[in-house]
Amino acid sequence: MLEIRSLRKVYDGHGRQVEALADITFDVAAGQFVCVVGPSGCGKTTLLRCLGGLLRPTSGDIRVGGRPVSGPPSELAIVFQEYGRSLFPWLKVHENVELPLKAKGLPSAERSRLVGQALEAVGLAEARTAWPWQLSGGMQQRVAIARALAYQPRVMLMDEPFAAVDAQTRADLEDLVRSVWRQFGVTLLFVTHDIDEAVYLGERVIVLSSSPTVVVEDLAIDLPAERDQLNTRSDPRFVELRAHVYSRIQQAKRRAPAQATAPRNS
């Protein structure tokens, strides 16, 4: 479903060249849940924006559903980190969820059905006539997720969606994402800086190095499909995997200064 080959992105501005992504290569099969982790500033958001068609890569090949990405693909939905700013404050919750469907050109009855279904799935059916700014942070992010679901995408990209949310709400939202993924069967690419979250949620975890960013490891998570906050997180296998990812990231961070001093073509 997602194919990324030798993705490279260099930011050019203010007299500085910043190589956000050096060489990223991996695949995601249809219906998979893949988490991407890496040290801060390693270009996770850049990767997501290139995938989502919001940013043009310097070089490399990205394909969604077999077709190369030249702009935002039509079967892809993004959930941004800043939930407060990604919802339209002048639209009520159900109107926010409905707007992309209007852009798609769906008839009104179909739109109502999809909106109702999506709000039901995230547990916000009672809040449909509320204004976004009347809701808490966690609920706002649920609205953003509902909006992505109602759009019926084949691929969902989530950019550190729970970074700005408190820990208990984050736990609820993590479980919500997993249940919604299984219910709707989307291909999910989840970017996060939280190692525990990545191991808890993903079927695979892709570990990135720090700048210049490459894929350090593509780890299969062999935890059972049924996961819950209490038992899975105390599972010895979880602890092992988590420690492994953590040590890989620490290695990647320590290697970075050496790589920075190595000679590079300008």
Partner 1 sequence: MSATLLRRTVMVLGLPIALIIIWWFTSANSTDFYQPPLSRILEVFPETWLNDRLLRDVPASLGRLAVGYTLALIVGVAVGVVVGSSRFLRRLLEPVLEFLRAIPPPVLVPVFILVAGIDNAMKVLVIISGCVWPVLLNTVEGVRGADEVLGDTCRSYRIGGVLRLRSFVLRAASPQIITGARQALSIGIILMVISEMKAASQGIGFIIIEFQRGFQIPEMWSGVLVLGLIGVLLSLLFRAVERRVLVWYYGVRAAERGTR
CA neighbours within 13 Å on the CB side: how many for 84? 8
Structure tokens at 11: 């930011």
* Binders in 148-187 for partner 1, by CB under 8 A: 151
Q: Closest CB to partner 1 among 47 and 195?
A: 47
CA atoms within 13 A on the CB side of 263: 0
| 61-69, 89-97, 172-180, 212-220 -> range binding partner 1 (CB under 8 A) | 89-97
Q: Is 80 in the site for partner 1 (CB under 8 A)?
A: yes
Cα 22 to Cα 2: distance, rounded to the nearest angstrom = 19
Q: Site map for partner 1, 34-73, x if CB under 8 A? A: ------------------xxx----------------xx-
Q: Backbone phi, then psi, for 194, in 5-degree steps?
A: -90, 110
13 near partner 1, rule: CB under 8 A: no
Q: Which of 57, 100, 161, 202 binds partner 1 (CB under 8 A)?
A: 100
Q: How far is the CB of 67 from partner 1 (least distance, A)?
A: 15
Instruction: Give all strands (DSSP E) within the chain, no chain letters.
Output: 2-13, 16-28, 33-37, 59-64, 67-68, 76-79, 155-159, 187-192, 204-208, 213-220
Binding site for partner 1 (CB under 8 A): 52-54, 71-72, 74, 76-78, 80, 82, 85-86, 88-91, 99-100, 102-104, 131, 133-134, 151
